[in-house]
């Protein structure tokens, strides 16, 4: 139980860092403004009412609450799993990153009706959809979740 608190604290830190970065962006960049950072990187301010890659962004508004409830449900399940298995470090880290990112984006959905995105990468005229700190945590968490699942399966087979 005690170790699970460390994972919850890390998820909380991700939420705080995500919200601070969005607070800075909202105070510094106008919607539609593009600030050049490097040949492959811009700062922008975008509001995404959908999910990853603007999935369902064109819907009339139901998706706001659908993704909010989904993220809260997944985060609740993750909190339960972290409490049960805090010793599985890689899996716990992966789940913690997903939970922290999901909760950071839930705050945006409740406050603004959309997720605040501000990091834009591009190359050779191709622009990756804008994203944020929470999205990054979710993405890294998902990759680590796959690695942890494959590693855990190999450990079971070798036992």
The per-residue pLDDT for 48 is 87
Q: 58 catalytic, yes or no?
A: no
In angstroms, the Cα distances linking 72 to 33, 79, 106, 109 are: 32, 10, 8, 12
The per-residue pLDDT for 60 is 60
The per-residue pLDDT for 1 is 47
Which residue in 18, 58, 108, 135 is the catalytic one? 135
The per-residue pLDDT for 159 is 47
Q: How many CA atoms lie within 13 A of 123 on its CB side?
A: 0
The per-residue pLDDT for 64 is 78
Which residue in 18, 58, 108, 117 is the catalytic one? 117
Closest CA to 138 of 15, 41, 40: 15
The per-residue pLDDT for 155 is 55
Q: 117 catalytic, yes or no?
A: yes
- Polymer length of the chain: 159
Which residue ranges in the chain fall short of pLDDT 50? 1, 159
- CA 60 – CA 107 distance, rounded (Å): 20
The per-residue pLDDT for 92 is 95
153 by DSSP, 3-state: which? helix
Check if the beta carbon of residue 137 is closer than 8 Å to that of residue 100.
yes
The per-residue pLDDT for 81 is 93
Q: How many CA atoms lie within 13 A of 119 on its CB side?
A: 9
The per-residue pLDDT for 79 is 96
Say what the pTM is: 0.87
């Amino acid at each position: 139980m005690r170790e699970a608190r460390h994972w919850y604290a890390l998820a909380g830190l991700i939420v705080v860092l995500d919200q601070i970065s969005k607070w800075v962006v909202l105070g510094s960049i106008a919607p539609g403004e593009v600030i050049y950072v490097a040949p492959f990187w811009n700062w922008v301010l975008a509001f995404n009412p959908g999910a990853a890659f603007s999935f369902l962004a064109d819907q009339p508004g139901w998706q706001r609450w659908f993704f909010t409830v989904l993220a809260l449900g997944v985060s609740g399940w993750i909190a339960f799993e972290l409490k049960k298995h805090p010793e599985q470090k890689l899996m716990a880290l992966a789940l913690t990153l997903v939970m922290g990112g999901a909760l950071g984006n839930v705050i945006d959905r409740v406050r603004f009706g959309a997720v605040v995105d501000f990091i834009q990468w591009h190359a050779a005229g191709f622009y990756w959809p804008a994203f944020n700190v929470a999205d990054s945590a979710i993405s890294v968490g998902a990759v680590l979740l796959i690695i942890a699942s494959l590693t855990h399966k190999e450990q079971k087979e070798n036992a």
